Structure 1
Amino acid sequence: MNLSLNELTKMATQEVNFDETFFSNIEECIKYNSIGTLNWAIHTLTIIRERIDVEQKENKLFRWIADINENESLVRVLPTNVVYIRNIKLGSLTPFVTEHNNVYVYNEKTGRIEEVFE
């Protein structure tokens, strides 16, 4: 499977998990031995490294609770412990609310998510 340089760069900025074919395609592109292609490969690998660095830094506003699926996880806002659904691909946060518009709060003592009635 040969992907274009633009497709590989797009994957580097959007994918959550990289498979063997992604890195095989980058390795194949590097074999062309042109300065432009080598600069592109360095740029693409730098994008991946920066994404890894950002994910590894401790976030002082949100804490991970659990993964819902491949694209979404539950996080809590540290000052209030209100639970949100974080969409990794879209980079969005949505409040985790009940059908009655009550919010859920993470209880640190019990490790459970509890409904708050307002």
Structure 2
Amino acid sequence: SDCADLMYEVALTLFKLQHWEKALSLLRELADSVVYHDATTMRIGECLIAMRRPAESVVAFTQAFERRPGSLAATLAITNLLAMHGEPERAFDFISKHLLATPSGTVHMHSLSAW
């Protein structure tokens, strides 16, 4: 709807201006939307990282990954966060799931091989 589109644009503007709490509030309202779920879940995770709330960001990035395990952005977000917080085994589990969900020979393989 037009209202959801406007809310999303305002949330992105607040995100870019680093008004994390306000952006997070709007993004959470949009998270149940079929249209905006994927984009908002990733942004929620990014807001939570900026707000130094890594445990909550793991939850958001995991939700984004579970919805689209073939998403390189979701895979990199969750694996990098887990690796930075001393959980490389969990990170490798996500990489394995991503590779199973991604057709072989895609560009994604190259990006993850550098990880």
Task: State TM-score, norm by structure 2.
Answer: 0.28
Larger Rg: 1
Larger relative strand fraction: 1
